[in-house]
Amino acid sequence: MILFGARSDLPLKNDATSRFLPWLIAPMVFLCSIALAGTIILHGMIGRWDRDVSGTLTVEIAAAPGDAQTSAERTRAKVEAAIKILSDTPGVIQARALSQDQLSALLAPWLGNTDLLREMPLPALIDVTIRPEHGPDLDALAAQLDKAVQGASIDDHRVWLSRLIGLSRAIAGLAVAVVVIIAGATSATVIYATRTGMAVHREVIDVLHLIGATDDYIARQFADRAFTLGLKGGVLGLLLNIPILGGLGFFGLHRLQGGFLGDLSLPFFGWIGVVVLPVAAAALAMLTARLTVHATLARMV
Amino acid sequence: MGRKTPRHGNVVQFDSVGLRYDHGPEILQDINFALPAGSFHFLTGPSGAGKSSLLRLIYLAQKPSRGRVTLFGRDTLLARRYELPALRRRVGVVFQEFKLLDHLSTLDNVALPLRVAGAGEAEVQKFVPDLLDWVGLSEHIHAKPPTLSGGQKQRVAIARAVIARPDLLLADEPTGNVDDDIAMRLMYLFEELNKLGTTVLVATHNHSLISRLQHPRLHLENGALLGPEP
């Protein structure tokens, strides 16, 4: 066994060909952990958005035509009619019209001047709270509102959310592709290093064979060395990544608090996944080395 | 090592064996002989007669070009790859060029056959220092082969070949680098092992040894076996 500096029959410790392995595996684990952490954070963010919107609806009522006062009165009447329909609908907990000030505050980040907004014919918005489990039949409700209140429409945020989920899935797929490419590149590197090491130590391997060593006895020594080097590189990659993930969480918590993105910190299970990555990289290196030695020895006499 | 040593039958049998390397001439031609279990033979012949090649066939470093080599009752041509390590562990070999591993200490070199057979460190520490003491290398137990003389390396190679109490011991010029006293001492070690049931085949040029130890000879000339001689 050569694991963690233990004895080995093959002089692998001083191999120039394997010394570079930790320096290649470190950036690979770094990229892998970024991809993994990014996917977990994004998944959490989408989940929070989903929870936030799943118990709510927004009913929008277009501003009625006419001069400012007439339009306001007609729109208010439509709002009251819509609230009555909503309140009578099973599954609806509460329906509340947004005040003019609240509307102005919502639009202010885009349109700026609130005095101007007060004179504009803005649509009315009704914030509806529904039962998440047994909500109303939205199609029937939309048809009823459309019939009773001209210019009313329901937004249950599903279009917006489905686009976000689509984006999330695309990014998750990209992350999986990155991980697969990195795993492939790591394996290819280990295969190259192992084959070179076997060529360098061919005479020692021959002696071990003649003494009665099995292929697996020899393969284990290469595999143990690859595990040690893989773990060193993996831990280095993890150490490089911790400040970034920690900083992202700090930034999300202190700079974007209450904002659109919310908390960007990695959850506990995410940290476990990231910490396990170096071990996974080392295990991949070990398995690859072992299989490579077996495949190469099988071609020898 | 607790292995059952064969007490009857042939440990090695050659039937019409020929050997050539690549497309070269036949190094060995129509070799027929058998080594009965528990026997002790010398393999003699001039340089280039094919002694080392014949030994290579027995310790499974080479396959015959024709004919059949049987080792412990197994046709070596038919043996599967996974069967070879177990067969090789039953054979102790003293290589002419020693084949010691330069990065390992004397102790670790001698311990190799035990370790590849799965022996624990307690077993290694129990048997290896005693054997090294017996061959006069107790002071060099931690030395590495490049720091040893030719004679010392040869004794390490012999200790490695016998440490696991093999059923068959092959020695290719085992006394070539040692003085007569040590040569006789090593041959007595081989005889002791032989008395315990190990079959021994020693390839040597040393006529003094051959004449002092009355064991049958297999004589090779130009790749042909001229038959066991008394």
Q: How far apart are CA B170 and CA B150, in angstroms?
A: 19
Q: How far apart are CA B163 and CA B156, in angstroms?
A: 10
Nearest to B117 among A206, A208, A212 (CB): A212
Per-residue DSSP letter, A3: G
**CB distance from B89 to chain A under 8 Å?**
yes
Are both A47 and A196 inside the same structural domain?
A: yes
ipTM value for the complex:
0.88
Residue A210 in any domain: the answer is yes
What is the DSSP code string of A131-164?
-SSS---HHHHHHHHHHHSTTEEEE-SHHHHHHH
Can you give the pLDDT at residue A6?
Answer: 60
Domain span at A84: 63-150
Backbone angles phi, psi at A7, to 5 degrees: -70, 150
Q: Count of A–B CB contacts within 8 Å?
A: 49
Disruptive mutation site among B65, B103, B112, B114 for chain A (greatest number of A CBs within 10 Å)? B103
Can you give the pLDDT at residue A113?
Answer: 65
Which helix (H) or strand (E) segment holds residue B26: the answer is strand B26-36
Are both A126 and A218 inside the same structural domain?
A: no
* Dihedral, CA of residue A176, residue A181, residue A183 and residue A187, to nearest 10: 160
Question: Edge to edge, what strands does the sheet with A152-155 contain?
Answer: A92-97, A124-130, A56-61, A152-155
Query: What are the residue ranges in chain A where pLDDT is below 50?
Result: 1-2, 5, 257
Are both A34 and A173 inside the same structural domain?
A: yes
Q: Quote the number of domains for chain A.
A: 2
What is the DSSP code string of A69-111?
HHHHHHHHHHHHHHHHHHHHSTTEEEEEEPPHHHHHHHHHHHH
Can you give the pLDDT at residue A132?
Answer: 73
Nearest chain A CA: its distance from B131 CA (Å): 18
Q: How far apart are CA A99 and CA B54, in angstroms?
A: 103
Nearest chain B CA: its distance from A219 CA (Å): 12
Nearest chain A CA: its distance from B86 CA (Å): 6
Nearest to A210 among B63, B82, B88 (CB): B88
Disruptive mutation site among B1, B84, B172 for chain A (greatest number of A CBs within 10 Å)? B84
Residue A57 in any domain: the answer is no
A31-48 b/e (C-beta count within 10 Å ≥ 16 → b): bbbbbbbbbbbbbbbbee
Can you give the pLDDT at residue B176?
Answer: 75
Domain stop point among A120, A150, A180: A150
Up-side HSE of residue B42: CA atoms within 13 Å toward CB?
23
Q: How far apart are CA A271 and CA B119, in angstroms?
A: 42
Domain stop point among A83, A118, A150: A150
Q: Which is more confident, B230 or A100? A: A100
Can you give the pLDDT at residue A301?
Answer: 55
pLDDT tens digits for range A30-72? 999 888 888 888 888 777 777 777 778 889 988 888 777 788 8
Can you give the pLDDT at residue A254?
Answer: 57
Nearest to B116 among A11, A204, A211 (CB): A211
Residue A155 in any domain: the answer is no
Going by C-alpha positions, the residue among B163, B157, B189 that lies closest to residue B176 is: B157
pLDDT confidence tier of residue B199, bands split at 50, 70 and 90? very high
Instruction: Kindly report the average pLDDT of chain B as a whole number.
Output: 89
Are both A9 and A77 inside the same structural domain?
A: no
**CB distance from B59 to chain A under 8 Å?**
yes
**CB distance from A6 to chain B under 8 Å?**
no
Nearest chain B residue to A14 by CA distance is B103
Are both A76 and A34 inside the same structural domain?
A: no
Domain stop point among A150, A182, A197: A150
Q: What is the pTM of this model?
A: 0.75
Are both A118 and A210 inside the same structural domain?
A: no
Compute the Cα dihedral for B26, B32, B38, B44 and give only its sign: negative
Question: Residue B104's CB: how many other CB atoms inside 10 A?
Answer: 20
CB contact under 8 A, B93 and A210: yes
List of residues 6+ apart from A77 with CB closer than 8 A: none
- Out of B42-46, B50-54, B170-174, B180-184, pick the least confident: B180-184
Q: How far apart are CA B156 and CA B105, in angstroms?
A: 10
Can you give the pLDDT at residue A114?
Answer: 63
Residue A123 in any domain: the answer is yes
Q: In chain A, what residues touch B170 (CB-CB under 8 Å)?
A: none
Q: In chain B, what residues touch A207 (CB-CB under 8 Å)?
A: 99, 101
Can you give the pLDDT at residue B214?
Answer: 84
Q: How far apart are CA A120 and CA A95, in angstroms?
A: 24
Which residue's structure tokens are 């290589």?
B95
Q: In chain B, what residues touch A203 (CB-CB under 8 Å)?
A: 99
Q: What's the token pair of residue A285?
A: 């290196």
SS3 content of chain A, % helix, strand, coil (to 5): 70, 10, 20
Q: How far apart are CA A232 and CA A91, in angstroms?
A: 57
Are both A20 and A132 inside the same structural domain?
A: no
Do A185 and A264 touch, CB atoms closer than 8 A? no
Can you give the pLDDT at residue A260?
Answer: 55
Are both A175 and A290 inside the same structural domain?
A: yes
Are both A124 and A170 inside the same structural domain?
A: no
Per-residue DSSP letter, A10: S
Q: What's the token pair of residue A218?
A: 């020899």
Are both A69 and A204 inside the same structural domain?
A: no
Are both A44 and A174 inside the same structural domain?
A: yes
Do A213 and B85 touch, CB atoms closer than 8 A? yes
Q: How far apart are CA A281 and CA A161, in angstroms?
A: 35
Q: In chain B, what residues touch A204 (CB-CB under 8 Å)?
A: 101
Going by C-alpha positions, the residue among A272, A277, A270 that lies closest to residue A47 is: A270
Disruptive mutation site among A210, A294, A301 for chain B (greatest number of B CBs within 10 Å)? A210
CB contact under 8 A, A211 and B112: yes
Residue A93 in any domain: the answer is yes
Can you give the pLDDT at residue B5?
Answer: 46
pLDDT tens digits for range B84-102? 999 999 999 999 889 999 9
Tell me the CA end-to-end span of chain B in Å, nearest whole number: 33
Residue A156 in any domain: the answer is no
Are both A130 and A88 inside the same structural domain?
A: yes
CB contact under 8 A, A207 and B108: no
Residue A56 in any domain: the answer is no
Q: In chain B, what residues touch A301 (CB-CB under 8 Å)?
A: 61-63
